[in-house]
Amino acid sequence: MVQPVLSIKSLVVEIPTRKGVLRPVDQVSYDIFPGEILGIVGESGAGKSMTGNAVIGLLERPARIVSGNVLLSGNPIHNLSASEFRKIRGKKIGMIFQDPLTSLNPLLTVGEQLVETIIEHLAVSKKEAQERAIAALEEVGIPAARERIGSYPHEFSGGMRQRVVIALALCAEPDFVIADEPTTALDVSVQAQIIALLKRLCRERGVGVMLVTHDMGVIAEAADRVAVMYAGRLAELGAVRDVLTAPKHPYTYGLMGSTPLASRGLKRLKQIPGSMPRLGALPEGCAFSPRCDFAQEVCKTGSSPFIADEDAQAACWFPLQHTKLRSSK
């Protein structure tokens, strides 16, 4: 069996505040395999970015990992020292940020930023690094890369800048990349191009990708599997085709405004009523219960429902059963 490039096991991130301890990431587990794109979806504030930051060791104080494991190609990385972690960043794990307009240093040319990254991680001469930088730009589809290498970020369009960001994240050849809302800040017309580029690089290089987004369209387009997050927890995990066509968790179902159940005359869930509770005021039991149409007494009491992992794919007492619903039609 192929070893996952990234393996998160029961990860918990806490933020101590004056009003108590918050858990923006609570018992999250999943694997990402080489050449695979795992989509992470959920409303804003669900803990998607926090998970990514925890994985790459860039949690901002006072947030910190309190339990769980993060394994990179089988090796634990959540307990590395700051200087050990720095050497991994860029080299083993790359990261792509949301806004290409602010991700690049305005006072350094794209070439300077690429070369400094390459030299930091790979034992190559400056000249060799320069050649690799040009190759990296060519690979992400920057035309006339050799001439553009001396250009400053503001001389590129938004879409081109995001390509530069991707080149920077991949130039030291990491095995795993976190892309945190890589298309959210872009024009709709270039979003598809960037997604296609990510997909291509992922396949060609066998890189594992954690694709964070709140856009189901992006997931449908790019991801192989999808993890749905709600209030810091994993609600559902599964192959994109399964989750999109037959969501098991009522939250996933609502999130997509999808229609498989509508044919059964059930209330159409275009928009989920209410909003995600604040971390400081989570309800007992299932965090989704106040908004859930299927909630029963058991959902609101006692221990929280099952944690979604590879075995139990939806964290729900009453997962939606599409096959039964369909067959009884």
| Contacting positions for ligand ADP (CB under 6 A) | 15, 17, 22, 24, 42, 44-50, 279
Full DSSP string of 169-196: HHTT--SEEEEESTTTTS-HHHHHHHHH
- 165 sits near ligand SF4 (criterion: CB under 6 A): no
Residue 289 binding target from other proteins, ligand ADP, ligand SF4, none, CB below 5 to 8 Å by type? ligand SF4
Q: Are 148 and 110 in contact (CB under 8 A)?
A: yes
| 117 token code pair | 């990254």
What is the four-CA torsion angle of 63, 77, 282, 297, rounded to 10 degrees?
-170
Alpha helices for 97-171 (secondary structure H): 100-103, 110-121, 126-139, 145-148, 158-170
78-83 contacts, C-beta under 8 A, 24 or more apart: 78/11, 78/54, 82/57
Q: Could you identify the residue written with the tokens 């066998």?
A: 206
Contacts (Cβ under 8 Å, ≥6 apart) of 103: 97, 161, 165
Residue 310 binding target from ligand SF4, Mg ion, other proteins, none, CB below 5 to 8 Å by type? none
Residue 28 or 50: which CB sits closer to ligand ADP?
50
- 132 sits near other proteins (criterion: CB under 8 A): no
Residue 102 or 296: which CB sits closer to ligand SF4?
296
The minimum distance between CB 235 and ligand SF4, in angstroms, equals 7
Residue from 43, 116, 128, 242 that binds other proteins (CB under 8 A)?
A: 116
CA angle, 74 as apex, 73 and 80 as ends, to 5°? 90
- 40 sits near other proteins (criterion: CB under 8 A): no
Rounded to 10°, the helix 110-121/126-139 angle is 120
- How many residues in the shown chain lie near ligand SF4 by CB under 6 A? 14
Residue from 294, 309, 312, 322 that binds ligand SF4 (CB under 6 A)?
A: 294
Residue from 7, 27, 29, 49 that binds Mg ion (CB under 5 A)?
A: 49
Contacting positions for ligand SF4 (CB under 6 A): 249-251, 286, 288-289, 292, 294-295, 299, 305, 316-318
Contacting positions for other proteins (CB under 8 A): 56, 58, 86-91, 94-95, 97, 99, 102-108, 116-117, 120-121, 152, 154-155, 165, 168-169, 172
